[in-house]
Chains A and B, each alone.
Chain A
Amino acid sequence: MATFGSLSDRLTATFRNLRTKGKLSPADVDGTVREIRRALLDADVALEVVKDFTGRVRERALSDEVSKALNPAQQVVQIVNEELIGILGGQQRRLEFAKKPPTVIMLAGLQGAGKTTLAGKLAKWLKKEGHTPMLIAADLQRPNAVTQLQVVGEQAGVPVWAPEPGNGVGNPVKVAKDGVKEAERSQHDTVIVDTAGRLGIDAELMKQASDIRKAVDPDEVLFVIDAMIGQDAVQTARAFQEGVEFTGVVLSKLDGDARGGAALSVASVTGRPIMFASTGEGLDDFEPFYPDRMASRILDLGDILTLIEQAQSAFDEDEARRTAEKFATDSFTLDDFLQQMQQLKNMGSIKGMLGMLPGARGMREQLENFDEREITRTEAIIRSMTKAERTNTKLLNGSRRLRIAKGSGMTVTDVNALVTRFEQAAKMMKTVAKGGVPQVPGMGPIPGASYAGKRKQQAAKKSKSGNPAKRAAENAALAAGGKAPGASASGGSGFGLGGTKTPAGGAPSEEELAALQKMLGRR
C-alpha cells in the first residue's frame, strides 16, 4: 500500500540530484521543474493544475528566498511541499451538521466511483461517532444497487430506507424526499442519500441529481471520486459542481498503488476540500483526509500523524499502564505478551500502517511479502501453553515444547524462537525498569520514563530475527529517525503508549515510531 508511490519516487529521485548541489542555478531549477512536471503528469494531476504548479515553483525557486539559503535543495522541497498543500485544498474541514436534525448528506459521482460502499463506511463511521444515521437508497438505476445498499447497511448496523426495488423502477427524487421525512419521524440525526452513478455529460441524469438536491436540501453534498481517475477528473468535477454544487470531495480506492493526482487537483479546480479518504474494501477502511499529511506523503516524508492517531485509538491506556507496572515488578508474562498482540491487531492492517511510514517506499516489496498471519501463529503457540507455562517460561522443557508445537500446528523450532524472543524482551525490560538504557539500534533517548519500559520491550521482541520484513522495518525505523523532524511539526505524544501521561511537549517521537516499526516487523 504505497499510495502515491510513483510520484513520491519520482520527486525523491529529483531531489536526490538536487541535494548534491551546494547552490541552485536557474538551469537546476528548470531541470527540477521539468521532472516535477513529468512526475505530476505521470501521477495524473490535471494538466492545467500542473502548469500552474510548476510555474509557481519555478518562480519561487528562482526568487531570493532560495538563492540566499544555506541548503537550496531543502528550500525547493519546502516550496514544493507548500504548493502541494495548496493544491490539496489547504486546510481540512469537518462535516457540518445541521442545527436542526436530521443532517442530510448526499453522495454523487461517476459510475463505479464507490458511492454505495462509501455510504456504508460513512454510516458506520457516523455511528461510531455517536450519531444515529439512516441510509436512503436513491440509486434506482444500476441493477440491484438497492440490494447492495441494504446489505451494506446491515453490515454497518444502520437502517436503510428503500421503498423502491430499483432496477430502473421508481422515482429517486421522491424516494429521497420521503426518506428524509421518515428520518425526521423516526428521529435519526443523520441521513445519507446514495444516488445513482452518472456521467458529467449526461444532462438528463445531472438534472435528476440536481432535483434530488433541491428536494432534500442537503447540508453536505459529497462528490465521490476514484483516486485512479485520469485527466478527465477536472472536467467531471466541474460538471458535478455545476450540477449538484457539491460541498466536499471523497477520494476512494486510495489503497491502490500510486497516483491520486488528478483527484487531488479536483480540490484546487473546484475549491472544494477533500474531506475523506476511502482506503480499502472493509467498512472500517475510511478516514478523514488531511491535505498537509498527504503532501508529506507525496514527498516521501510518510504519513506519520495518521499513523500515530491510529495507534492511539487502538491502544488501551489502562492496559498500557498495567503493562508498565508489570515491567517494573518483573511479572510480565506470555499472557501479557499475547494481550498486547491482540491490541496491535485492533490497529488494523499492519501493512497499511507500515505503508504510512517514511522511507517505506523502498520496502514495498517486503511489505507485500510480510505475512500478517505471523501474529496468528504466535497467538496459536501461546494459546497452546498451560497457564503455568505462560507465567513461567522456565517450565518449558523438551516434551512440553513438543506438545505445544503439536497443539499449535507449529514446529518446536518456532516455539523455541518465540520463547527466546520473549525472554530477551523480558530481560531488556528489567534493565529499563531499573533505569538502565538497553542497546537498541535506531532509538534515541526515551521521553517519559514510566512508559519507556513498555516501548523497549516491544522493540526488543523483534530485534532478533533475520526475517526480511523485519529488517526492512528496522531500516525504515532508521530512515524515520533521520527524516521525520521536518514532517511532524505538530507532533502528538506519539503512539498511544503514554497518551495522557507523557507530556506532549513537542516530542514528535521518532524513537517511538522506531519502536513501533520494530514491533510491527516481528511478532
Chain B
Amino acid sequence: MASFSLGGALRGMFARRTIDDETWTDLEDALIGADFGPDVTDQIVEELRGKVARFRTTDPKDLQRMLRETIEERLARLDPTLTLSARPAVVLVVGVNGVGKTTTIGKFAKFLTNYGRTVVVGAADTFRAAAVEQLATWAERAGAQVVRPQQAGQDPASVAFQTVEKAQRDGIEIVLIDTAGRLQTKSGLMDELGKVRRVVEKLEPVAEVLLVLDATTGQNGLNQAEAFVQHAGVTGLVLTKLDGSAKGGFVLAVQEKTGIPIKLIGQGEGIGDLTGFSPSAFAQQLVG
C-alpha cells in the first residue's frame, strides 16, 4: 500500500546522525525525484532550512517530522470532500489519454454502490475504440447501470444528456459520465468538454467535475490541470496509478496553483483500489 513512499530515497538521509550539507542535497534530490518540480522543491527546502535553524535541531528525525508536517499542511489547505448531495448528483470525469478515467469510473461506481447508492454510468467516450465496452465491463462489476451511445461516434454530449435523463426518470442517485481522453493542447476537443457540460446543465447542475491525473506524469500535470480547469470547470482531482514507483509529487503544485483539491486516489487495478484522499495519510505514506 505504501508503495509510493519516498522511503528509499530518504532512508539514508534520516539514518545519518546529524543534518549536514549532504542531507540537504539528498532531500532536494528526493523531492525532485518524486516529481515535486524545481519550484516547489526549492520552497520546501527553504522552509525546512528556516525551521531547522529556528529550532536549532541537528536530528534528522526532526527534519523528517517537519517534512511530513510541511507536506501535510500544504496538502490540507483545501477540503477534499466530494459534494454529491444533489439527486441525481452528476459527476463528469475528464483527463488526458491513458490516465485511467474509465478504470477510475469503474472503481468509483463500486465505491458508491458499496455505500448503497444507485449509480448509472454514461459512456460518453465515443471516440476510442472499445471504450464503451471497457466501461460496460466495469459497470457490470460495480453493479451499476450503463447508458451506451446508440450508434458509433455519437456526440458525447448527447450520451451524457441521455444518461442524466435516465437517472432523473428512474430515480438513480449518482450519474458518472466517462469522457474521451484528450490532450490539453487540442482546443477543439477541449471545447467539446465545455459543450458536454453545458448540455448536461440543461437538465441538472453538475455536482463534480473530476480531473484524473496519472501519478507517473511529470511537470506537465500542471499544464493539464490548468487547461482542464479553464475548459471544464474542474472541481476535484483524482490521482491514479499510485501503486507504481511514481510519487505524483506534482499534485502539490497543481493543488496550490489551481486551488482545486485532490479528492480521490487510485492505487491498483482491483475494483476496490480507490480511496478518498486524506492529506495526513498521504504525507505519512510519502515521507514515512
A303 CB–B CB distance under 8 Å: no
| Inter-chain contacts of A199 with B (CB < 8 A) | 241, 243-245
Given contacts A41-B38, A256-B184, A256-B220, A112 and B100 within 8 Å (CB-CB): yes
Given contacts A112-B97, A231-B32, A200 and B245 within 8 Å (CB-CB): yes
B244 closest partner in A (C-beta) = A199
Query: How many Å from the CB of B231 to the closest CB on chain A?
Result: 13
A361 CB–B CB distance under 8 Å: no
A146 closest partner in B (C-beta) = B130
A226 CB–B CB distance under 8 Å: yes
Question: Is the beta-carbon distance between A155 and B129 smaller than 8 angstroms?
Answer: yes
- Contact mask for chain A residues 202-232; partner B; CB cutoff 8 A; 1 contact, 0 none: 0000000000000000000000001011111
Question: Is the beta-carbon distance between A230 and B244 smaller than 8 angstroms?
Answer: no
Interface size class of A (residues with CB under 8 A): 35 or more
Question: Is the beta-carbon distance between B35 and A230 smaller than 8 angstroms?
Answer: yes
A201 CB–B CB distance under 8 Å: yes
8 A Cβ contacts from B1-45 to A: 3, 29, 32-35, 37-38
Question: Is the beta-carbon distance between B138 and A229 smaller than 8 angstroms?
Answer: no
Question: Is the beta-carbon distance between B99 and A112 smaller than 8 angstroms?
Answer: yes
| Inter-chain contacts of A41 with B (CB < 8 A) | 32, 37-38
A257 CB–B CB distance under 8 Å: yes
Q: Which of B114-122, B195-203, B210-218, B276-284 contacts A (4 or more CB under 8 A)?
A: B210-218
The CA of A111 and the CA of B134, in the complex, are separated in Å by 14
Query: How many Å from the CB of B38 to the closest CB on chain A?
Result: 5
A338 CB–B CB distance under 8 Å: no
| Inter-chain contacts of B129 with A (CB < 8 A) | 116, 147-149, 151-152, 155
Determine which of A1, A47, A149, A281 lies in contact with B97 in the assembled complex, contact meaning CB atoms within 8 Å.
A281
The CA of A43 and the CA of B220, in the complex, are separated in Å by 8
Tally chain B residues at the interface, Cβ within 8 Å.
Answer: 46
Question: Is the beta-carbon distance between A144 and B244 smaller than 8 angstroms?
Answer: no
| Inter-chain contacts of A233 with B (CB < 8 A) | 216, 218
A38 CB–B CB distance under 8 Å: yes
The CA of A368 and the CA of B189, in the complex, are separated in Å by 12
Given contacts A110-B244, A143-B133, A144-B133, A228 and B187 within 8 Å (CB-CB): no
State the main secondary structure of chain A at its contact with B: loop
Number of A-B contacts (CB under 8 A): 144
| Inter-chain contacts of A239 with B (CB < 8 A) | 245
| Inter-chain contacts of B33 with A (CB < 8 A) | 47, 231
| Inter-chain contacts of A149 with B (CB < 8 A) | 129
| Inter-chain contacts of A2 with B (CB < 8 A) | 185
Query: How many Å from the CB of A341 to the closest CB on chain B?
Result: 21
B161 CB–A CB distance under 8 Å: no
| Inter-chain contacts of B218 with A (CB < 8 A) | 44, 228-231, 233, 259, 261-262
The CA of A257 and the CA of B247, in the complex, are separated in Å by 22
Question: Is the beta-carbon distance between B244 and A229 smaller than 8 angstroms?
Answer: no
8 A Cβ contacts from A104-152 to B: 110-114, 116, 141-145, 147-152
8 A Cβ contacts from A344-374 to B: 368
| Inter-chain contacts of A317 with B (CB < 8 A) | none
8 A Cβ contacts from B205-255 to A: 214-221, 223-224, 241, 243-247, 250
The CA of A239 and the CA of B220, in the complex, are separated in Å by 23
- Contact mask for chain A residues 27-68; partner B; CB cutoff 8 A; 1 contact, 0 none: 000000000001001111001000000000000000000000
Chain B residues within 8 Å of A, Cβ to Cβ = 3, 29, 32-35, 37-38, 96-100, 106, 127-131, 133-134, 137-138, 183-187, 214-221, 223-224, 241, 243-247, 250, 269
Chain A residues within 8 Å of B, Cβ to Cβ = 1-2, 38, 41-44, 47, 110-114, 116, 141-145, 147-152, 155, 167, 199-201, 226, 228-233, 235-236, 239, 253, 255-259, 261-262, 281, 368
Interchain residue pairs with CB less than 8 A apart (12):
A41-B32, A41-B38, A44-B218, A141-B269, A144-B133, A199-B241, A201-B3, A228-B214, A228-B220, A232-B215, A232-B244, A281-B97
**What are the nearest 3 A-B pairs in CB distance?**
A230-B218, A112-B98, A44-B218
